[in-house]
Structure 1
Amino acid sequence: MNNSSNRQRNLGPGVQYLLDYMKRMQAENPGFFYATEGDSEHCGNVFWTDATSRANYSYFGDTVRVDTSYRTNRSKIPFITFTGINHHAQPVLFGCALLLNESDNSFVWLLQTWLRAMSGRSPVSITCDPDRLIQMAVAQVLPEVRSRFCRWSIFRQTQEKLSNVYQTNSTFDFELKKCVNEADAVEEFESCWATLLSRYYLMDNEWLQSLYNIRDQWVPIYLRDVFFGELSTVEHSDALSLFFDGLLSTSTTIQLLIKQYEKTITSWHEKELKDDFDTSNTTPVLKTPSPMEKQAANLYTRRIFMKFQGELVETLANPATIVDDSSTVIIYRVAKFGEEHKAHTVRFNAFEMKATCSCRMFEFSGIICRHVLSVFRAKNVLMLPPEYVLKRWTRKAKTGVGEAEPESAFGLPSNSQDSPLVRHNNLRQEAKKYVEEGAKSIHVYNVAMSALQEASKQVAAAKSKNSGTTLGTSEANGGTLEMHAIENQSASCLSREEKEKKIRELSTELERTNQRCEVYRAILLALFRDIEDQKLKLSVKVQNARLSLKE
């Protein structure tokens, strides 16, 4: 465990570069939030988050991962991230920080500042590294939130602490993770852990003993009564820490960090758009005649539906047997064929149509388990009761209160085009109409394609114009031509240093604008490709129809 404290880092001029970046971002977008701890000359810590991250928290802020792994690696940048998981089971960002002054109070300040940026709404659960400082801060700032240690961080530390064991026993890593991740009951974990230590002669190992003493804070079987959004305990990755995976190295500078930070955000946003598109425009293959499966296919995003479908199919091999039906709550025993020793208990209330399972998968991941589904199957429950569908996993995770409304909750204009999130949502919704209507017939397709091609030319022209005579214009700042004319007149009064600084600022603004244009261009190109695919499918249908008429 990492227990060091009161460590001060010095990143030189990089800190000022970061602060200048924060100020520019806040000037461009009122939803951008940043805060510093320390005086202006010796800034100790910086936290920041943008409008999209704050909006995402309103949708997916039920479980949060605070990644402070820089404290155990060799990165010279003290970079901390707050992440969650969206409706496609992808990591989403809630905020970032640089913690130059590492003390008890600094971590408390960080959590308090982050919580303030999220409008004071606490998550249901939080995952952090096994670090004394962050653990104390969580206990002080979020006392009602269920916390756990990141077990993948523990696995990494275990590999370092027991490097000789890993080198001489190739199966130890597999057996340790299987023991921790796949135990279906507390008794099973306890027995497996004791066997593991005995097999590798580690009964007196202090590190493993310390892990066992805090097992209720990191081993899944002790945590399944609370939602952590974890779809699989056996995936060999810490999904919530993957947002900035590989971002930091020993040579990373603040300037490079900011540049990579922006690229990473754009990349993950594009991945979410792709999954949104795939979920809306493709139909999953159903594996059963169950109306519940069809219902789930229409409710869930593609990734979540695949998880649900897997559980539903498993009901065929997990029959439910009545143990006690003497009261309104019927008790079932559900076990897989040949694995009766791993049976789970399901309590089903037929009047309320509610069921609970001893595996507590629904409480832990938000997806109903095969054991409850098996009971539903036995009781002829054909449709999934609404209380077993978490909205955060559905296609409509970001709807219901208005796509732009979360920005209003953070003091942002919900219908203003000053917000990049609002602009993006508006563009996406309009573009989808072209795809849906354009696929219906060749004539409408040609009209839609022509309109999109013309739009693409206009976007390119706007991009070219922006890089020419109006470099300083910023919609987010509400800039006008008159204002820039005044700026140009006063520019001659500026010193050489101020002019160079202004040029750097404008160049950075131009680069960001170009990046946004590239994102919109990518969306348009994706729509073109989809329309071409639809055209091809339609042409094949027409050709087949003609052939059938000739016959």
Structure 2
Amino acid sequence: MRFSLINAKASGLLSGKSCLKQDRFCLWNILSKVSEKFKGVEDFTKATNEFKALIFDSLTIEIFGTNMNDFLTKYGLENNEWLMKLYSERENWVPVYLKHMFWAGMMSTQRSEGMHAYFDGYVNSRSTLKQLVEQYEMAIREKNEKELLSEFISKNKVANYISQFGWERQFQHAFTHEMFKLVQEQIKRLWYCNVNPLNEDEESNEDGTERYNILERCIINDWYHKEFVYRVEHREHGQYFSCNCKKFDSSRILCCHILKVIVTKGIEVINERYLFRWWRKDMHRPYIKRFFAGGYPIMTEEYKKYHVLEGDFTQITDVVIGNTQKMEYVKRQLRTLQVNLS
């Protein structure tokens, strides 16, 4: 059995020493087969919902294993070859096995869904190869225009805040509107979080680490209530936070559990390390160089200046690219410029 793979290295965001490159099975393809593979299962709708819940809501690897075994027994699927094959390769598709790595907030369902939506209205099954090429260019141009407009709005309009927390202002001023909305989604979930008391053996902080149990409750639907206790750790020295939900590790957005501890401790300003630079509105995005001026009547003056500067740098690169001495010279000059301009 073959499943589509997603290479998680998206737009260069995953290229770094702290990030691992790993292929993920496409959850969209997996879940699209459920109707076929669960045919004949008693209470099909409930079984399907429970299967999705154990995939997305298992907090630990151990919990996933227990939930999966209970699910197979409950619905008599112990001999289902498809599920057995999936389970044997669970490290490549189950979120709990992958959440410790940075995926730029990308779900493994997004390639199939995203590619279909990306070209909606441009091509269909009857499009010729010539039409595909022409429409592809138009689709790319529209998406790039939207990205430029979104960037312009982020830099020139202030998004509304929804709380009185000082650290929300930090995200408001630093993040693009879209990423700030994701932070606000976590702020809204604070309503469902409570700090639980620790056991005596959990309270020890000899290593300078404070530990918190955060109970999160929410109703998913009329038969399933999500209730998990998350463990948040905080080190005052260095202002480090971590949570076993691993949301910050995988998406670089602080989870509601860490935010609950920040609120509990009365922290008004968070460390800059949690204002991930790729999500910042002042971040220059190199891939913008694929844009061309003729296709973008709404292009900002700021970008036009950037485009001119980029063109000068491209010319210099063309001159030195084949000469090691000249390349080293340009690198030294650039480092000097960075120091002088910062």
What is the CA–CA distance in structure 2 between the aligned matches of 1:241 and 1:385, rounded to whole Å? 39
Q: Deviations over 1:262-298 (max 9, x none)?
A: 1211221232233224333443332211111111111
Alignment of 1:206 with 2:81, yes or no, is yes
Aligned to 1:173: 48
What corresponds to 1:330 in structure 2? 210
CA distance in 1, matches of 2:16, 2:114: 18
Q: How far apart, in 2, do the equivalents of 1:260 and 1:192 lie?
A: 46
Match of 2:300 among 429, 437, 445: 429
Give 1:351's match in structure 2, choosing from 221, 231, 237. 237
Which ranges in structure 1 are unaligned for 5 or more consecutive residues?
4-63, 67-81, 85-93, 95-117, 126-143, 408-418, 434-551
Q: How far 1:224 moved relative to its partner?
A: 0.5
1:83-127 Cα offsets, whole Å, 9 max, x none, are 94xxxxxxxxx7xxxxxxxxxxxxxxxxxxxxxxx8xx97469xx
Answering whether residue 22 of structure 2 is matched by residue 146 of structure 1, we say yes
Aligned-partner residue type, residue 430 of structure 1: E
**Which residue pairs with 1:365 in the alignment?**
251
Query: Do residues 303 (structure 1) and 178 (structure 2) align?
Result: yes
Q: Offset at 1:202? A: 1.5
Say yes or no: does 1:164 pair with 2:50: no
SS of residue in 2 equivalent to 1:170: helix
- Residues 383-422 of structure 1 show CA distances to partners (whole Å, capped at 9, x for unaligned) of 23111122212212326xxx68x85xxxxxxxxxxx7547
User: Residue 274 of structure 1 aligns with which residue?
Assistant: 149
Q: Distance between the aligned counterparts of 2:186 and 2:298, measured in 1?
A: 37
Contact persistence 1:122–1:145 (CA under 8 A): yes
In structure 1, how many angstroms separate the alpha carbons of the residues matched to 2:236 and 2:226? 25
Sequence identity of aligned pairs in percent? 22
2:316 corresponds to = none
SS in 1 for 2:212: strand
Structure 2 Cα separation of the partners of residues 173 and 210 of structure 1: 18
Structure 2: distance between partners of 1:315 and 1:373 = 8
Give 3-state SS (helix, strand or coil) of 1:327's partner. coil
Equivalent of 2:64, from 176, 179, 189?
A: 189
Aligned equivalents of 1:166 and 1:255: distance in 2? 46
Q: Which has the larger radius of gyration?
A: 1
Q: Secondary structure at the match of 1:174?
A: helix
**Quick check: 2:193–2:214 contact (8 Å CA) kept in 1?**
yes
- Tell me, in whole angstroms, the C-alpha distance in 2 between the residues paired with 1:166 and 1:265: 44
The secondary structure found in structure 1 opposite 2:299 is helix
With structure 1 as the length reference, what TM-score do the two structures score?
A: 0.46
> Is 2:268 the partner of 1:392?
no
State the alpha-carbon separation in 2 of the partners of residues 169 and 246 from structure 1. 34
User: Which of 153, 162, 168 lines up with 1:293 in the alignment?
Assistant: 168
Q: Offset at 1:154?
A: 1.5
For residues 268 and 91 of structure 2, what CA distance do their matches in structure 1 show?
37
Match of 1:343, SS state, is strand
- Partner residue of 2:2? 2
Question: Is 212-221 or 306-315 further displaced after alignment?
Answer: 306-315
Give the C-alpha shift of residue 246 in structure 1: 7.7
Which residues of structure 2 form unaligned runs of 5+? 219-224, 305-342
Task: Note the C-alpha offset of 1:251.
Answer: 3.4
Structure 1: distance between partners of 2:2 and 2:226: 42
Distance in 2 of aligned mates of 1:257 and 1:395? 34
Using a 3 Å threshold, how does the CA distance of structure 1 residues 146 and 295 change in structure 2: closer, same or farther?
Answer: same
Distance 2:136 2:216 in 1: 46
Deviation at 1:424, TM superposition (A): 7.3
Matches of 2:293 and 2:125 in 1, distance apart? Answer: 38
Q: Following TM superposition, by how much is the alpha carbon of 1:379 offset from its aligned partner in structure 2, in angstroms?
A: 2.6
- Post-superposition shift, 1:370? 1.2
Preserved CA contact (<8 Å) 1:124 1:145: no
> Closer, same or farther in 2 for the Cα pair 1:234/1:330, shift >3 Å?
farther
Counterparts of residues 54-203 of structure 1 (less than 5 Å): 65=6, 84=10, 123=15, 145-160=21-36, 162=37, 164-165=39-40, 169-203=44-78
Q: Which amino acid aligns with 1:333?
A: N
Closer/same/farther in 2, CA of residues 336 and 233 from structure 1, 3 Å limit: farther
What is the letter of the counterpart of residue 374 of structure 1? K
SS state at 1:164 partner: coil
Contact 2:28–2:108 (CA under 8 A) maintained in structure 1:
no
Distance change (3 Å), C-alpha of 1:367 and 1:122: closer
When residues 163 and 236 of structure 1 are mapped into structure 2, their CA distance, relative to the original with a 3 A threshold, is farther
- State the distance in 1 between where 2:43 and 2:71 align: 15
* C-alpha RMSD of matched pairs (Å): 3.9
Partner of 2:129: 254
Relative distance call for 1:163 and 1:124 in structure 2 (3 A) is: farther
Q: How far has the Cα of 1:230 moved from its partner?
A: 2.4
Change (3 A) 1:122 1:273: closer
Deviations 1:180-200 (A, max 9, x none): 122222233223322332333
Instruction: Give the superposition deviation at 1:218.
Output: 0.2
Supply the distance in 2 between the matched residues of 1:318 and 1:168 (Cα, whole angstroms).
Answer: 32
TM-score normalised over the length of structure 2: 0.70
Say if 1:181 and 1:234, in contact at 8 Å, map to a contact too: no
Give the Cα–Cα distance (whole angstroms) in 2 for the partners of residues 201 and 236 of structure 1.
32
In 2, distance between residues paired with 1:298 and 1:425? 27
Could you say which residue in structure 1 is the equivalent of 2:308? none
Q: Is the 8 A contact 1:329 1:347 kept in 2?
A: yes
Q: Which amino acid aligns with 1:370?
A: C
Q: 1:229 aligns with which of 71, 86, 104?
A: 104
How big is each residue's C-alpha offset from its partner over 1:299-342, in whole Å with a ceiling of 9 and x where there is no partner? 11222111111212333442345633333111221113699961
Amino acid at match of 2:261: V
Q: Distance in 2 between matches of 1:236 and 1:192?
A: 27
> In structure 2, the residue corresponding to 1:330 is in which secondary structure?
strand
